[in-house]
Structure formats: C-alpha cells, structure tokens
Amino acid sequence: MKIQRYKPLASIYNREEDFSEDLLNYINELRVGDFEDAETESNVGTRKADIVATGNDGILVVENQFGKADWDHWGRLEAYARLKEANVAVLVAENFEELMIVTCNLRNQDSQIDWYLVEAKANEHDEISFNQVSRPEIDIQTEKKNIEYSKFWEPIRKKGLFAGKPVPVRDEGWIGKGIKGISLILQLNNHACSVLLSFQGENRIKRRNDVLELFPEENYKYKLSESPKFAKILFPVLEKGKKDKDHWPEIREKLTKLGEEVYYKIRDADV
C-alpha cells in the first residue's frame, strides 16, 4: 500500500497571494457553485478580498491561507461576504479546528449566505486536491428553510439604491453599501434611525475630515466618533425606529432619502 503524502502549500508558493492566483484555475474544483468571472485582490472598502467571482450562482467570496485556518481569516471572510453581498463564502486552508467547523455549520443554519470550509492538500507531485469539511445542508442550500426576513427592509431591498437580497430578522439593525472605500450604513434601532459613515485605515481621520466638508453644519446634523480602527460620522434621521411600526413608511422614506443624498454627494465629489 502506498500512502499519500502531503506537503505544505508554503513549499510550493512563496506567498498566499500566489496561491490565490493559482486558485483561480481551481474555482470549479471547490464545488461551491457556477462561477466564472473571478479576480484576485478585489477591493472591499480599504481592504482586499483574496478572490471575488460572479456567475450563475451570484457572487462568491474566497479567503485562503497557508496552514491551519485562524479566526482572523474567518472574520475577514464574514466582513467581505457582507459588504460584497455574497451568495457564497469560502475559507480555504490546509486544516481546520473543530470549533470553526461547528461554527460554520451553525452559521449555515440561519444565514442567507452559503458558507464553506475547504481543505486544500498538496501531494508530492505538487497536485492540489480540495475537500469540503463544512458546507450547507441540501435543504438549506436549495430552499433556505425557516429563515424569517425583515418586513421593514423588504420594500427598500426591492428597488432603488439600496436594493438587494432580503434581510434576515437577526440582521435587521442595518443594511450597508460601499462608496469609495467608505461604508455607508442605514441603521434601524428600536426607537431611532440614522445614516452612518464608517472609515477604516491609517488615514481614516483625514478621509473623514475631507468628507465632512461636503456636509456643512448649517445644513446637516451629525455626530463624530472614533476608535482604534474606525472614524465615524453619524447622521440622525428620526427618533422613530423598529418598534414604531405605524411610522414605518415615514421612516423608510426619510432614511433612504438621506442615505441616497449622502451616497451621491460622496460619489460625485473628489474625495
């Protein structure tokens, strides 16, 4: 009996970016759907996703790494999948800890995105094989059973600037859209709603200050906040929110109106 021997991916590729380039040739081998138009180092805000592809099954986001999958890459995949409004999200690594597999399985139970963990193994001939260690169950993949979607966001997601896939109730607090590396978020709290601009990266303060010039204080009310990773501008809209169901039409109208105004001002400006 000849036992198959495997070697580290790092012995074949100098960088994970090189693995990403080669992985483009194996997209169909991942067996996660029908995707063709793929690119590496795809912009997501101020960061870059390893691979983003489109095709008959929507949008695919892939993160890959050498060795054992870590939670940093899992977190990146979750962020990129949300911001890209992906239909399928895949983390490719050489092995996975049991907790991550359990987490991925649970994620598939209530998510509108199909989540996969895929092992990549290289043999002594530098041939790479892929094995799914976590994937959606068939009924979840085809019917998405037992997912309750937000009634508030339903009309907004059907048409207009913020159109997109239905929003699960568990994610009802916000929807987002990217513009020039800035996250624009429509926020819905129990008794308030607002438009949030979030900036990342080393120059986040300067970029926020540049954008602020588009919104003079005499015309716009806003609040500023900062953290070690983010700089934010919050535009309050109404002191009405999710619990104020009788006012939903007014909330939708004013929230999307300000969101669109902010979006197009940034889009048309040199910032």
pLDDT in tens, 1-17: 455 678 889 998 888 88
Name the burial class of residue 37, with classes exposed (0-12), middle (13-18) and buried (19+) by CB atoms within 10 angstroms of its CB: exposed
For 194-216, what is the mean pLDDT? 91
What is the predicted pLDDT for the residue at 145?
47
Do 217 and 257 reside in the same domain of the chain? yes
Domain at 86, CATH number: 3.40.1350
Do 10 and 122 reside in the same domain of the chain? yes
Of 111, 143, 175, the domain-final residue: 143
How many domains is the chain built from? 2
CA distances from 140 to 6, 39, 83, 111, 137 (A): 33, 28, 22, 9, 5
| Alpha helices, DSSP H, located in the chain | 16-23, 71-83, 98-110, 138-143, 154-158, 204-212, 248-268
Evaluate whether residue 1 is within a structural domain: no
pLDDT in tens, 214-247: 999 999 999 999 887 788 999 999 999 999 999 9
Evaluate whether residue 18 is within a structural domain: yes
Do 160 and 137 reside in the same domain of the chain? no
For 103-126, what is the mean pLDDT? 87
Do 159 and 52 reside in the same domain of the chain? no
Task: Give me the domain span that covers residue 112.
Answer: 6-143
pLDDT in tens, 143-198: 444 578 899 999 998 888 988 778 878 778 888 887 887 889 999 999 999 999 98
Do 167 and 42 reside in the same domain of the chain? no
Residue 216 main-chain phi, psi, to 5 deg: -60, 145
What is the predicted pLDDT for the residue at 192?
95
Higher-confidence residue of 136 and 147: namely 136
Q: Is the pLDDT of residue 116 over 50?
A: yes
Do 109 and 230 reside in the same domain of the chain? no
Of 143, 167, 183, the domain-final residue: 143
What is the predicted pLDDT for the residue at 224?
95
pLDDT in tens, 35-64: 877 888 888 877 889 999 887 778 899 999
156: helix, strand or coil:
helix
Q: Record the pTM.
A: 0.55
Domain at 253, CATH number: 3.30.1460
Do 15 and 133 reside in the same domain of the chain? yes
Evaluate whether residue 148 is within a structural domain: no
Do 12 and 131 reside in the same domain of the chain? yes
